[in-house]
Amino acid sequence: MGIAGESVDAVIRLRVLRLDPLTGIAVSESGAELGFEGWMELIGAVANLIGSPDRPDIMDQRAATMSSEQRIEP
């Protein structure tokens, strides 16, 4: 990942499971998965997956509780 302020390319796949409330899974190129519920958690999941230094790893708990049906196969 890049240093703060450095530009890097990243691919994050989003799987929307439900629209109301917005619920889904964000997956990085490396296969790391983070679930989200709501727009703020979506932003947090993307920030966490790209390695934002300002975002704590609070999304890891959500990913750990996801069922295998909700996970995206690479």
Query: Are 42 and 62 within 8 A, CB to CB?
Result: no
Q: Burial, 12: exposed, middle or buried (Cβ in 10 Å; 0-12, 13-18, 19+)?
A: middle
The first and second tokens of residue 19, run together, are: 């629209």
The pLDDT of residue 24 is 97
The pLDDT of residue 72 is 54
Where do the domains of the chain lie?
12-68
The pLDDT of residue 4 is 59
pTM given for the model = 0.61
**Sheet-wide strand order for 33-37:** 12-19, 22-28, 33-37
Q: Which of the residues in the chain have pLDDT under 50?
A: 55-56, 58-59, 61, 74
Taking each continuous run of H as one helix and of E as one strand, the counts in the chain are: 2, 3
